[in-house]
Chains A and B, each alone.
Chain A
Amino acid sequence: MAMWRCLRVSWRTLRFIGAYTRANLLAAMEYRSAFAMQVVTMTANDSLWLFFWWNFFRQFPLTNGWQITDIVILWAVSACGFGISVGIFGNTENLARLIMTGGLDAYLSMPRYALLHVSIAATDPTAWGDVLFAVGAFLLLVHPGLEQVALFVLLVMLVALIFTAFHALLGSLAFFLGNTEGLLQPIRGALISFSTYPMNIFHGVVRLLLFTLMPAGFISFVPLLLLRHYSWWLLLGLIGATGVFVGLAMGLFALGLRRYESGNLIGMQA
């Protein structure tokens, strides 16, 4: 009975997320040529970086089993995970501003879970360019089998959740520290930067940080290992780490809500 109830709640949540994603996408496509331009631009940008790093690592290969397709996998997993995170949960990046301006009021009065509702309320159209690039690069340059494609889909979902949880954690700091928007931008950028470089170049404390405070290791390195040599234990480890980050984000948000002061904003949420 509990299982059935859990499945029903999950299905309803997925439908809720799907409905918002569709609405956000349709709103972004209202300006069709601008939307297409943004998607194409982001795809071109990612392709340009990959073109550079592909050639770079061909000339300066790293040791310890580094393969030339590894840089494609790093970029494909990171870009797709980030794209899904910002495309579906795009409002998480605005969480700090919403907290500071009292913008959570409209969501707190709704029956849905507030953090989820806030997160899915907006999208960044450029994110779909990241997704397009990632899928194209993975299929065209890695030549994966069916199992690898299925694993890639699962991995980018987990990576998207880690990105979203990280953004929510950073945004929730505004409950405690006040206006943190200026500080958050470079930290978000740092996570993306660290995720798109091989883990072989980081050592010691930095490597430890990349599996704790700045989860870049779980975003690109672990998925890379899984796509190279599948292991159930590693996959369970990644699922566990994703669970921990999502749990931390939800916990910090709940803790912060106790300190939240309403802005007495009158808002309308479709």
Chain B
Amino acid sequence: MEMIVQAARRPIARRLWLSMRKYWAVMRVSIASNLAYVYEVVFRALSLLIIVFILSQLWKTTFSLRGSHTLSGFSMTDMIWYLVAAETFALSAPPLTDRIDQEVRSGQLAYLLGRPCSYVLYHFAQYTGERFVRLVMNAAVGAMLALVIAGVPHLSWMGLLAWPLALFLALCIDFVVYFAIGLLAFWTENTHAFSFIYSRLTLVLGGVLAPIEIFPQPIQAIARALPFSAILYGPARTLVHFTSTAFFALLMQQLTMLMAGSLLLALLYLVVMQYVNINGG
């Protein structure tokens, strides 16, 4: 009893710090368990090699047929490094929706809710750890390929510093969307279809195949009107073609999306929690 009272009297900063350590530990475990199956991560990175190789061949042909060295300001080298940056993130997503879906259907959710940590933050820590390992592996493999195909890129130090921040915000947006889709398992038979469509919209309209300014019309207009570009195009462009104006516009777009998404997720979470019945025994 005394301990509980003492814990309640701890300053907020201290409590927050202790809480953060809890999720930091979850993230560390997630990183360690993914590194234990490092060959699986390497095999997955093979997909990145193949896709970037195919797209590089396509762009090489396109550049040579156009007879120009740049397309909308992107040289061939920029294009390859852009593709690597975009694919690195696109191919690093863990199957979060399937996991949440499974926990809801199997009832494991009730067991996880009993733990002394937030269900959402627990998954966020686990997801971030898993995605971090995949991102690093993909980036290493992709960078090697890009060096072979296109040579050394002309990256600015500001782009290199800003890229991780843009990637982290994109990761958070992805988490919020996939988590919310997973919670739809309370109502639908199959949430995989929703996450599949979301991932495809992000890939095609988010700029994984090319920077949006090179997109043909009317796709360019559609892609600019939709928020998917903040997930792939924005961070990849930040790395390859950094401009402070575009970066701050991207940050605003990402933060707005993240806040709106988090609010919707919180509402959804409150609603679904009313459906959960826990019977102890």
Binding site for B on A (CB under 8 A): 31, 33-34, 37-38, 40-41, 44-45, 48-49, 51-52, 55-56, 58-63, 182-183, 185-187, 189-190, 193-194, 197, 200-202, 206
Contact = CB atoms under 8 A, between A and B. Distances in A.
B57 A59 contact: no
Contact of B62 (A31, A37, A60): A60
- List the 10 closest A-B pairs by CB distance, nearest first: A59-B216, A186-B46, A34-B189, A41-B193, A34-B190, A55-B216, A182-B43, A186-B47, A190-B50, A201-B57
Interface residues of B, number: 32
Given A37-B190, A45-B196, A63-B65, A193 B50 contact: yes
A45 B200 contact: yes
Contact of A197 (B47, B58, B215): B58
A201 B58 contact: yes
B217 interface: yes
Interface string B206-217: 000100000111
A62 B193 contact: no
A197 to B, nearest CB: 6
B162 to A, nearest CB: 28
Contacts of A31: 189-190
Nearest to A42: B196
Contacts of B219: 51-52, 55
Contact of A202 (B57, B65, B196, B201): B57
Given A48-B200, A48-B201, A58 B216 contact: yes
B117 to A, nearest CB: 31
B66 interface: yes
B219 to A, nearest CB: 5
B61 A200 contact: yes
Contact of A185 (B43, B61, B190, B204): B43
A37 to B, nearest CB: 5
Given A186-B43, A186-B47, A38 B193 contact: yes
B207 to A, nearest CB: 11
Given A31-B189, A186-B50, A45 B209 contact: no
B197 interface: yes
Interface in B1-51: 39-40, 43-44, 46-47, 50-51
